[in-house]
């Protein structure tokens, strides 16, 4: 069964602009306007979003009627959520370095990158079983985990792709494997 998956990254927030680990914050006003200016998206069989406010607001700005799916939530940053990355680096340099270099580590008490990837891969496998076209509004970390999964890249590759706010990435599955899909 063939499946098309269109990922859309949530728009920018004040936290993302200030270098903070994310909380459940709203979009910046400009991000809502930018999302509203994105060209019409193709018809989808299922439209889902992370339950986070910034993802739901992005879906609304795109005029998508999406159902919240907890599997699309952002990486759980534990006690670092809402804190400046620079402050964590100053106070817990070894912990931050471990999190960025050891994908199975979760020194913040939240979710490791390995666990994030397993969650995202499981969700993608479920979508592949349903077939059709899915639009998913989620977060940069979730989309990076999906890319690493599709490429069957080592867990350390997580940091090697950048996902900008409102980025759109397409994938396809033939029921046995996922592929990235580039189009004009």
pLDDT in tens, 101-123: 999 999 999 999 999 999 999 99
Share of the chain above pLDDT 70, in %: 99
Q: pLDDT-based confidence at 184, cuts 50/70/90?
A: low
Gap between the Cα atoms of 80 and 69, Å rounded: 23
The pLDDT, as a whole number, for residue 15 is 87
The pLDDT, as a whole number, for residue 44 is 96
Gap between the Cα atoms of 60 and 149, Å rounded: 28
Strands of the sheet with 46-49, listed across from one edge: 67-68, 46-49, 132-138, 3-9, 168-173, 178-181
Share of the chain above pLDDT 90, in %: 87
Q: Is the pLDDT assigned to residue 67 strictly greater than 70?
A: yes
Hey, how many other C-beta atoms are within 10 angstroms of the C-beta on 90? 10
pLDDT in tens, 24-49: 999 998 998 899 888 788 899 999 99
Cα 128 to Cα 71, 125, 131, 179: the distances in Å are 15, 5, 5, 12
* Structural domain spans, the chain: 3-76+111-181
pLDDT in tens, 153-176: 999 899 999 999 999 999 999 999
Pairing of strands 178-181, 168-173: antiparallel
**CB contact at 8 A, 75 and 50:** no
Q: What's the chain's average pLDDT?
A: 94
pTM score, two decimals? 0.95
Domain 3-76+111-181 classification at class level: alpha beta
């Amino acid at each position: 069964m063939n499946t098309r998956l269109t990922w859309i990254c949530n728009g920018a927030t004040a936290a993302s602009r200030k270098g903070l680990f994310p909380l459940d914050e709203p979009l910046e006003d400009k991000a809502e306007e930018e999302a509203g200016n994105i060209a019409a998206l193709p018809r989808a069989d299922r439209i889902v979003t992370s339950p986070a406010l910034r993802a739901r607001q992005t879906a609304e700005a795109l005029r998508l009627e999406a159902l919240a799916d907890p599997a699309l939530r952002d990486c759980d940053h534990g006690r670092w959520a809402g804190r400046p990355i620079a402050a964590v680096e100053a106070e817990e340099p070894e912990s931050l370095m471990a999190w960025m270099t050891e994908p199975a580590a979760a020194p913040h008490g939240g979710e490791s990158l390995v666990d994030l990837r397993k969650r995202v891969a499981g969700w993608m496998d479920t979508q592949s079983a349903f077939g059709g076209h899915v639009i998913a509004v989620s977060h940069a970390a979730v989309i990076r985990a999906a890319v690493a999964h599709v490429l069957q890249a080592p867990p350390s590759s997580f940091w090697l792709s950048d996902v900008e706010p409102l980025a759109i990435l397409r994938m396809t599955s033939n029921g046995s494997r996922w592929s990235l899909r580039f189009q004009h």
